[in-house]
Amino acid sequence: MNALQEPTLVTAPELAGTLAELLRLEPIFHWPPLQMTQAHLEAMTTDDFWEVGASGNRYSRAFCLKAL
């Protein structure tokens, strides 16, 4: 692949619903509503959840939950 060429990102049609749900929920992790509890956040993430920050660093579920 050419270093200047971006990959073509295509979501499989059967995953369109999942993608829509993730797009809807994504802002919650950055600006959780006041009524959102630790239990809500824990229920929305699996035990092996991790996130990649803008820096490229990976953050564990425990780190993310503590930060939120």
Which residue blocks in 1-68 are alpha helix, DSSP H? Answer: 16-30, 38-43, 61-67
Q: What is the pLDDT of residue 26?
A: 78
Beta bridge partner(s), residue 58: 52
Question: Which pLDDT tens digit goes with each residue over 20-58?
Answer: 988 887 776 676 677 788 898 899 899 999 998 888 899
Q: Which residue has the higher pLDDT, 33 or 11?
A: 11
pLDDT at residue 2 greater than cutoff 70: no
Q: Model's pTM, two decimal places? A: 0.54
